[in-house]
Amino acid sequence: MAPGIRPDTIIGHIYDAAIAPGGLQRLAASVMKVGGGSSASVTVLRADEPVEAMTCGLPDEVLQRYVTYYHRINPMIPLALARNQTRVGRYSDLLSGSKYRQTEFYTDFSRVVDTVHVMGLPRLSIGAGTAAEIGVHRGASQHDFSRRDIHRLENLMPHLQRALQLRQRLGSHLHTNVGLAALEAFAFGCIICDRSGRVWFANSAARALEADGQITLALSRHGFGAVHPAESRRLAVLIGKAAIGGSGGVTILGAAQGARLFVLVTPLPPRFNGQPEQVLVTFRSESSGPPFDARKLRELFELTPAEGRLALALAAGRSVAEIGAELCVSENTLRTQIASVLRKTETANQRELVRILNLPPPIRE
């Protein structure tokens, strides 16, 4: 870690980056500082394919080359995944130097861009089918990373995971210039509270959950919790730890009518609301629909009404047989409509279509 960099300052920068434009590059900068590298990269993958990537200390051209080709031939990734590596490690722990230098990846990329020594994590889970690849690099003239370097970066991983989960959930719409107004726009529940659970802000979606009896929310700032006491205690522990430097966490709460609430607890950067030791808690019901409605789909992709209804049904997890039975439409007709939807949305298959339709955070009208 660079001299004079305090761990709590770095952690604050990480959560700050989660809600800021250009946040992925700022996360890479924090990873580089903590790991003591000359460069670093953070890559977001869906279905094991890079969809977003940023570096610190390397030219954009290097990043583009890695994402478009060299990521696929990096021999260290399959080696690490085969070992089920869930902790930070070094390239030198996976493959001997002599064998590494014989690979195309080393000869044509790593040696050329001087990222000879690497430590990191090939897959940091941040959601269903979504992960991050974290790498910190040093050049050939520098020493390989030490066990102490690994330990420092490993301690950062829970915070980095929560920050990336927060960034994914809030999407690109949230940044500090819009602040609380942006939280108000989201169709899932957002609450800002202190370490004891006292509520400082609750958006309309959170108030709706309270009205439905799905959470116990005291807007007089006395606190909030879940319907079931045991779940409230579990949530309180996550909030308390996140407020004093912990990484937060995820939990599931039982809710009304048998539905469940998926909850993400993350520390909140002080500059977001001007207060220390505050926590952001977001609630998403498993019964929540996709962020698009039929009208928005037609406007965005020029779908017909029938195609819009079909796309929404697929995004909700319905099978073609179920949709056909409900709409009294043959499967052949539906297959023809699906082909048209894929063409108009420029998606390769139904799986990609569903992923695209569920990526944005749901926004209130």
pLDDT in tens, 50-82: 888 999 999 988 998 999 899 999 999 999 998
Within a domain: 364: no
pLDDT score of 274? 58
Q: How far apart are CA 18 and CA 269, in angstroms?
A: 9
Number of domains in the chain: 3
Within a domain: 30: yes
- Residue with more model confidence, 246 or 99: 99
Residues 12 and 136 in one domain: yes
Least trusted range by pLDDT, from 128-137, 260-269, 354-363: 354-363
Q: What mean pLDDT comes out for the span 170-185? A: 59
Least trusted range by pLDDT, from 15-29, 120-134, 222-236, 267-281: 267-281
pLDDT score of 172? 47
pLDDT score of 176? 44
pLDDT score of 179? 63
Provide the pLDDT confidence category of residue 128 given band limits of 50, 70 and 90. Answer: confident
Residues 80 and 204 in one domain: no
Mean model confidence pLDDT for the chain? 83
pLDDT score of 116? 96
Helix (H) / strand (E) element for 150: namely helix 147-170
Provide the pLDDT confidence category of residue 2 given band limits of 50, 70 and 90. Answer: very low
pLDDT score of 359? 58
pLDDT score of 261? 84
Decide: 120 and 133 in contact? Cβ < 8 Å.
yes
The residue among 142, 171, 200 that closes a domain is 171
Least trusted range by pLDDT, from 134-138, 159-163, 255-259, 322-326: 255-259
Within a domain: 176: no
Decide: 334 and 310 in contact? Cβ < 8 Å.
yes
Residues 281 and 298 in one domain: no
Within a domain: 59: yes
Residues 43 and 147 in one domain: yes
Within a domain: 328: yes
Residues 155 and 304 in one domain: no
The residue among 138, 171, 204 that closes a domain is 171
Q: How far apart are CA 88 and CA 34, in angstroms?
A: 13
The residue among 240, 260, 285 that closes a domain is 285
Each residue of 327-339: pLDDT tens digit? Answer: 888 989 999 999 9
Residues 110 and 204 in one domain: no
Residues 310 and 336 in one domain: yes
Within a domain: 363: no
Provide the pLDDT confidence category of residue 98 given band limits of 50, 70 and 90. Answer: very high
Residues 24 and 140 in one domain: yes
At 223, is the secondary structure helix, strand, or coil? strand
pLDDT score of 147? 93
Q: How far apart are CA 155 and CA 323, in angstroms?
A: 47
Helices (H) and strands (E) in the chain, counts: 19, 12
State yes or no: pLDDT of 262 exceeds 50: yes
Residues 247 and 125 in one domain: no
Residues 17 and 163 in one domain: yes
State yes or no: pLDDT of 174 exceeds 60: no
CATH value at residue 143: 3.30.450.80
pLDDT score of 255? 64
pLDDT score of 1? 46
- Residue with more model confidence, 310 or 7: 310
CATH value at residue 335: 1.10.10.10
Residues 84 and 22 in one domain: yes
Provide the pLDDT confidence category of residue 350 given band limits of 50, 70 and 90. Answer: confident
pLDDT score of 3? 45
Q: How far apart are CA 278 and CA 65, in angstroms?
A: 40
Within a domain: 279: yes
Domain of residue 310 covers 294-358
Q: What mean pLDDT comes out for the span 298-318? A: 84
Burial class of residue 127, CB neighbours in 10 A (0-12, 13-18, 19+)? middle
pLDDT score of 340? 93
Residues 128 and 62 in one domain: yes
CATH value at residue 227: 3.30.450.20
Within a domain: 122: yes
- Residue with more model confidence, 255 or 188: 188
